[in-house]
Amino acid sequence: MHTARTNCGKRSAFTLVELLVSITVLSVLMIVIMQMVDNTQSTVVRQQSRAEEFKDARAALENISRSLSNAVINSYWAYGDSSVAGKVNFTRQSDGHFISGPASVLLGPPHAAPGHGVFFQAADGHVQLPGATSSLGDPYNLIVCAGYYVDFNSDLSARPEFLAQRTEVNPERQRFRLMQLRVPPDQSLLYSSTLDLNKAVSKEGVLRWFRGPFPPGGATWREHSVVLADNILALIAVPRYIAVEMGTISESTSSGKENSTTTTKPAENYYYDSREYQWGDKNEKSRASHHQLPPVVELTLVAVEERSYEALAEKMGTSALKQKINDIFANLFTQHASFDADMKTLEAGLMGLKLQHRIFSTSVLLRGSKWIIEERKS
């Protein structure tokens, strides 16, 4: 009987050189993978940080849109003066006022921030203090004076007293901020016998309803304003009005009226005043906007990133950076025809300063806008 014999050779093993090469290759792969993971995490964190950074700007734009869409003016038809004896003349009047334009013009000194302001009345009244008594009845059904604009100010006034006094721990932050003006009905001049919008002969006197001073302590628009969002460089408002384009008289039209079409036009100088006609400026826009709300207001917010702004402020100084930004906005957004060119100039200026920014835009429909177009007879 034969027994099979198996020859087992020696098992081969890794040499020291092979082990070193394997460890080196594995280490390189691990380093590459770790760098890829780190870059991915950094990108995610950066994107989340940017989304969080501009969250306040988006929320502020929604706040403006919601409040502006509730604007009211309460226009009505009433007897007016007639140049023809014995003829009754009806004119459109209102108890409210809508005005928008350069904030530095509307608010006057000491306001000096770029951009526009929008001021109006809205039906969401509230009182200054919870439980406060008022001779006006239920204040929650009254009209509140509201407005939005950008201002450059400090955050010390918004801090609690114990934090405002410890600037060595929490340094003062001076920033461009989007502000919201809200004058409670129990302090509003609209319900005061000292202000009658329809009988006012001075434009400056009419603007007291949002400028102040307000009773009882003589507070101004600054004391009734709160911060909506930090790092908002400008608010750009483009109100549109209804324009009637008259055509030729159609031979087939038995009424003898001109054919006409209506369209919306932007306020070319960004200025809209529902009482502009009251001051004697009789042009197409003032006649169309006479005691009427604009049907649409296009809004644009220019927001910057806090980290890039803070780094630049530390490098240049707060006052110098403020002046640089004001210089960029100088002569911009004065005529709507150059809106696109102005926006490109603005973005180029901000990029030149290496300011990370974002621009938000929306169109707001004013539900209280009820336009009445008067047809012209041939």
pLDDT in tens, 339-368: 999 999 999 999 999 999 999 999 999 988
Closest CA to 245 of 258, 257, 255: 258
**Predicted confidence (pLDDT) per residue in 31-77, tens digit:** 999 989 888 887 877 777 666 778 889 999 999 999 999 999 888 88
Please give the Cα distance from 181 to 228 (Å, whole number).
Answer: 10
Please give the Cα distance from 294 to 312 (Å, whole number).
Answer: 39
Give the strand pairing for 357-365 and 89-94: unpaired
The answer to whether residue 247 scores a pLDDT higher than 70 is no
Domain region containing 217: 47-78+90-365
Q: Is there a domain that residue 17 lies in?
A: no
- 324 CA to centre of own chain: 21
Please give the Cα distance from 89 to 94 (Å, whole number).
Answer: 16
Q: Is there a domain that residue 200 lies in?
A: yes
**Sign (positive or negative) of CA dihedral 19, 22, 25, 31:** negative
- Concatenated DSSP letters of 171-192: ---EEEEEEEEEE-GGG-GGGS
Mean pLDDT (the chain, rounded): 81
What is the number of structural domains in the chain?
1
Query: What three-state secondary structure class fits 270?
Result: coil
Q: Is there a domain that residue 139 lies in?
A: yes
Q: Is there a domain that residue 253 lies in?
A: yes
Q: Is there a domain that residue 12 lies in?
A: no
Confidence tier at 328 by pLDDT (50, 70, 90): very high
Percent of the chain with pLDDT over 90: 42
**Residue 277 phi, psi (nearest 5):** -65, -25
pLDDT of residue 86: 55
- For residues 373 and 319, the model is more confident at 319
Q: Is there a domain that residue 151 lies in?
A: yes
Q: Is there a domain that residue 101 lies in?
A: yes
Please give the Cα distance from 52 to 58 (Å, whole number).
Answer: 10
**Predicted confidence (pLDDT) per residue in 101-118, tens digit:** 999 999 988 777 899 999
Element of type H or E holding 237? strand 232-249
The answer to whether residue 169 scores a pLDDT higher than 90 is no
Rounded (5°) CA angle 336-338-341: 135
Q: Is there a domain that residue 25 lies in?
A: no
